[in-house]
Amino acid sequence: MSNQLHYDVVVVGAGNGGLSAAAYLAQNHKKVLLLEKHNLPGGCATSFRRGRFEFEATLHEMCSVGEGETAGAVRRLLDSYGLQVKWVAMNEAFCSISLDKKDPFNVYMPVGVKAFADAMEKAVPGCRKSVETFLEFGRMFTDGVEWLDSYHNEPGGLAKMKMLFQWKDLMKLVPIDTDTMLRKIGMPDKAREIIESYWDYIATPSDSMSFAVYAFMTYSYIYRKPYICHDRSHEISLAFDAAIRKMGGDIWYCSPVKSFDVRDNVCHGVTLNDGTYISADYVIANIHPGTVFGKMMDPKEVPVRDRKSMNARHIGQPCLTVYFALDVTAKELGLDGRYDTFIRTTGNNRIQFENSKSLETHKENCITILNEVIPDCSPKGTCLLQFTKFYDCDIMKGVTPENYFKFKDKITMDTIKQFEKDMKVNIRDHIEEVVIATPTTWARYVGSPNGNTYGYIPQNWDGMFARVQSGHKLDHTIKRLRLCGGHGTQMDGYSQSYLSGREQARYALLDMAKGE
Ligand SMILES: Cc1cc2nc3c(=O)[nH]c(=O)nc-3n(C[C@H](O)[C@H](O)[C@H](O)COP(=O)(O)OP(=O)(O)OC[C@H]3O[C@@H](n4cnc5c(N)ncnc54)[C@H](O)[C@@H]3O)c2cc1C
């Protein structure tokens, strides 16, 4: 087989994780091939056009970016790849509305530690001390996570001792849930509900979400600011494409991989849908484990540990997104001044989560108005509005090809009615374009089970800190094959997927150096 295609490493999937893995490998002088089923990179990190508008598909905000002295791990990583991106920082942390009749709130929360504490105190007089304590925990966790990252999450020897002493509070607080801890530090209920507004970014309600993870993420947004890029997330994906090629990597689009060639617990390469076989010393999959192990290899080769972990884990919530282009500005609608707003029926996120278990009860919404951060993102006199909802149920159950469009129409009408009622505005008379992405859209586009793009819901035994500790050795079950992406050790999200790609590529290099 002298003309057989062979690469040092094949990366399957050009989502955020795959792009980062391929960049890291190319940077480290490996002959790398990135294979992507679509004709463009990014997976969720993409945009699409309808009429005279270009819509952002997913990105509301990225954490751990920052710049200058606030630069975080993700900024440093993306800069190290040489990505050319027009980053845009925001001054808004989040906006949150609770329509609860008993104790409603409607707040704009700014970035900046002091400004955030001031705004909290204004919204809930008397909460300042507890908010400052929360932010101080966030700072401590951020330092701890940075410190762990400087050891690639594997401090050994004396450093391990330091972890036990210097970071003992961090370790102690990993298993404590966010609700419990915020009550312990004396935060009033209303302040707690406001601070917990970001909960669905972690995909689990605050009474079952690690305090350490939540405080770390929230502090990162408040201290480093949330970031997006000027030309939609597709700009980041294209910048990766350019950087990978510049560093000598190959990228093949329109190249869906059919199967992973795993024999006797070793991965030898991949086969494309068109039958092309590509052998490799190592393979990295940027595809959900449920798809890799469930559909893309000989079932006899699926390791017991992976079967067990897939069964034990709870797949993240499927997503539904409705995108509108309106022929008026946000200002004309009275919606200006706010970029990302959570509008909820109640401030209690356990109830919000329970509401997400059916189409009928789920009335919570996250609304993003891109023009508020990028004024020229749509033609003059127009604006882009995006509604995002995560469900804790299979909303596509019973939907057939015949009634799919009716189903989408109904969801759109319900979304419009709900929003118009909540915000007392008229949007239906101003719709120029509307697009709906159901869980089926996401399932088809990125190939994830049930259209979930949030990996696995974190649990006490399976949160970020537990996962990073097992990501190098314990979860490496098939030789010469590793998995990266939003389902990985760092949890879901853009930043986390980029870090996951680097992490798994680095482990691959270590394995290869040892001849494993
Ligand atoms: C509506 C929405 C809003 C979001 N908002 C945010 C946000 O504001 N901030 C944030 O941080 N995160 C956000 N996320 C989450 C974030 O987008 C994801 O966690 C992240 O992009 C997942 O990246 P990934 O590496 O897992 O790759 P994926 O995006 O899952 O991409 C996988 C890639 O693999 C390719 N592929 C699949 N199968 C094959 C095959 N057989 N052969 C070849 N290629 C294949 C796919 O085409 C795709 O390109 C949002 C997600 C959604 C859906």
| CB 206 within 8 Å of CB 239 | no
User: Which DSSP helix (H) or strand (E) runs through 216?
Assistant: helix 211-224
Residue span(s) of the chain under CATH 3.50.50.60 come to: 5-49+62-67+75-81+230-313+453-513
List per-residue pLDDT tens for the chain, 516 residues long. Answer: 446 899 999 999 999 999 999 999 999 999 999 999 999 999 999 999 999 999 999 999 999 999 999 999 999 999 999 999 999 999 999 999 999 999 999 999 999 999 999 999 999 999 999 999 999 999 999 999 999 989 998 888 888 888 778 888 888 888 999 999 999 999 999 999 999 999 988 889 999 999 999 999 999 999 999 999 999 999 999 999 999 999 999 999 999 999 999 999 999 999 999 999 999 999 999 999 999 999 999 999 999 999 999 999 988 888 999 999 999 999 999 999 999 999 999 999 999 999 999 999 999 999 999 999 999 999 999 999 999 999 999 999 999 999 999 999 999 999 999 999 999 999 999 999 999 999 999 999 998 888 888 889 888 788 888 898 889 999 999 999 999 999 999 889 999 999 999 999 999 999 999 988
Query: Which of 120, 159, 105 is CA-nearest to residue 342?
Result: 105
Listed as own residue / partner, the contacts of 288-295 with beta carbons closer than 8 Å and 24 or more positions apart are 288/447, 288/448, 288/449, 288/452, 288/455, 288/485, 288/487, 289/483, 289/487, 290/315, 290/448, 290/449, 291/447, 291/448, 291/449, 292/260, 292/483, 294/449
Measured by CA distance, the residue closest to atom 17 of ligand 1 is: 44
Measured by CA distance, the residue closest to atom 48 of ligand 1 is: 43
| CB 89 within 8 Å of CB 229 | no
Q: Hey, what amino acid is at 376? A: D
Distance 357 CA to ligand 1 centre (A): 23
Alpha-carbon span 345 to 446, nearest angstrom: 31
Q: How many helices (DSSP H) and strands (DSSP E) are in the chain?
A: 18, 18
**CATH domain 5-49+62-67+75-81+230-313+453-513 topology:** FAD/NAD(P)-binding domain (3.50.50)
Residue with tokens 């696995």: 456
Among 494, 500, 504, the mutation site with the greatest number of ligand 1 atoms within 8 A of its Cβ is 494
| CB 210 within 8 Å of CB 463 | yes
Pocket flag, ligand 1, residue 45 (CB < 6 Å): yes
Alpha-carbon span 46 to 37, nearest angstrom: 14
Pocket flag, ligand 1, residue 12 (CB < 6 Å): yes
Alpha-carbon span 289 to 487, nearest angstrom: 8
Pocket flag, ligand 1, residue 65 (CB < 6 Å): no
